[in-house]
């Protein structure tokens, strides 16, 4: 039986944003875990998804990124991505998601861009 590997770490950035760090594979088997993690984040804080350690993402993974985007918009806050590697970046470009979700090189850059006046 294959092992589906996704590690999710949720933390609060010192200046007031929720950072969700994903490592491994975001796919059919693991996407529901991201959904639950995003649902448990504080709606009032901007959300940063750190994908630097994400090796793979499929269409259900992209759907969960869009779920996070919709959730932050409905709450009146923002979402940004960090560290999209070549494969994940290509998928986001092919699907047009890159036009919705701003991408940054570091968590600090993303948090700075998401803060009011940032």
Residue 56 banded pLDDT, cuts 50, 70, 90:
very high
Predicted pLDDT at 85:
86
**Superfamily the domain 6-114 falls into:** STAS domain (3.30.750.24)
- Per-residue pLDDT tens over the stretch 2-39: 556 999 999 999 999 999 999 999 999 999 999 999 99
Beta carbons of 108 and 92 less than 8 angstroms apart: no
Distance, in Å, from the CA atom of 93 to the CA atom of 88, rounded to the nearest integer, reads 9
Question: Cβ neighbours of residue 108 under 8 Å, at least 6 residues apart?
Answer: none
Looking at the chain, the whole-number percentage of residues with pLDDT higher than 90 is 87
d(CA 82, CA 21): 9
CA atoms of 80 and 5, how far apart (whole Å): 23
Instruction: For helices 86-95 and 59-74, give the axis angle rounded to 10 degrees.
Output: 70
Tell me the pairing of strands 6-13 and 17-26: antiparallel
């Amino acid at each position: 039986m294959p092992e589906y590997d996704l590690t999710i770490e949720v933390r609060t950035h010192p200046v007031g944003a929720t950072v969700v760090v994903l490592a491994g594979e975001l796919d059919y088997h693991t996407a529901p875990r991201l959904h639950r993690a995003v649902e448990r984040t504080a709606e009032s804080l901007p959300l940063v998804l750190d994908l630097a350690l994400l090796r793979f993402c499929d269409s259900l993974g992209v759907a969960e990124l869009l779920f996070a985007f919709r959730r932050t918009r409905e709450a009146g806050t923002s979402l940004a991505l960090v560290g999209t590697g070549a494969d994940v970046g290509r998928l986001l470009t092919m699907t047009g998601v890159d036009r919705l979700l701003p991408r940054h090189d570091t968590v600090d850059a993303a948090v700075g861009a998401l803060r009011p006046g940032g």
